[in-house]
Amino acid sequence: MNLKGFQGYVKKTAIVVSDDPANPRMVLLLEGTVKPLIEVLPEKTVYFQGTADGLDEKTIDLITTSNMFHIRKVDDTLDKKVIYKLETVEDGKHYRLRVSNNTSLGSYRGSITVYTDFAEKPELTIWVNGSIEGEIGIRPKSLVVGRLSLDQGIITGKVLVVDNKNKAFKIVKCMWDERLIDVRQEPVPSGPGFSLEVTPKMENIPLGSRIPTVLRVETDVPSEGKLEVQVQAINLAETPR
């Protein structure tokens, strides 16, 4: 069993088929806690979402559970989208990586790689995802609606439009391709914001097709301009033979 990359509680099952008529099929269950050579806490992925001035610094702790180790260097694939700093909490045993967003607007995805002198664990990878918004945020930025198979129902989608400063606002215009999708707008009950329910028009989506379209939203917040969601309208169901 390969548990490379796993950390914490793990549950695995295996099916054993034999020629024993009394027990032709058995299910084996294995569960336990995987303790890595170097723990990455609280998790191996960092998320930044919201306005640039409202995002807090994230911390990642690297703690040995076995032999002592030292960090040789740190590299990344994020093209200065974030700023990070490595601190020594306890030499050879515990290091802390502090990561901060360094982007005013836009999305990014990449990784920070920590190189160690520990032969059994020479590299540690921390994944970093950012979705930096203005005052108005629209989530998600992409959506798939339609049908994947005949035995599956029609997939609809939901888009949230929120004010990251918790201020009241209005949607003044929604634009979409009325041949492919329908959009219904409702207020969010928990605070300032709106929910957009996206429903595909299957009668206009040819069988076997995947059609890209865009949902555009304009609000009464002048600095935001048009907000966009990339929508894939699909009909991949196969006709019965």
What is the tens place of the pLDDT at every residue in 3-35? 666 666 778 888 888 888 888 888 888 887 777
Tell me: pLDDT of 241 over 60: no
Find all residues with CB under 8 Å of 184, minimum gap 6, and list them.
196, 197, 199
Rounded to whole angstroms, the Cα distance separating 72 from 91 reads: 13
Q: Which two tokens stand for residue 87?
A: 């601190």
When pLDDT is averaged across residues 47-68 and rounded to a whole number, the result is 94
Q: How far is CA 229 from CA 63, 90, 142, 160, 207, in A?
A: 40, 46, 5, 10, 23
Do 38-133 and 136-235 come out as alike in CATH topology?
yes
Contact in structure between 97 and 127 (CB atoms under 8 Å): no
Q: How far is CA 143 from CA 155, 157, 170, 215, in A?
A: 10, 7, 23, 10
pLDDT on residue 150:
79
pLDDT on residue 111:
98
The domain limits of the chain are 38-133, 136-235
> Taking the complete model, does pTM exceed 0.85, yes or no?
no
Query: Which tens digit of pLDDT belongs to each residue from 180-191?
Result: 999 999 999 888
Rounded to whole angstroms, the Cα distance separating 19 from 28 reads: 17
Rounded to whole angstroms, the Cα distance separating 234 from 209 reads: 6
From the list 40, 61, 139, 46, the residue with the least C-alpha distance to 100 is 46
CATH 3.40.50.1220 fits 38-133, yes or no: no
CATH code, 136-235: 2.60.40.10
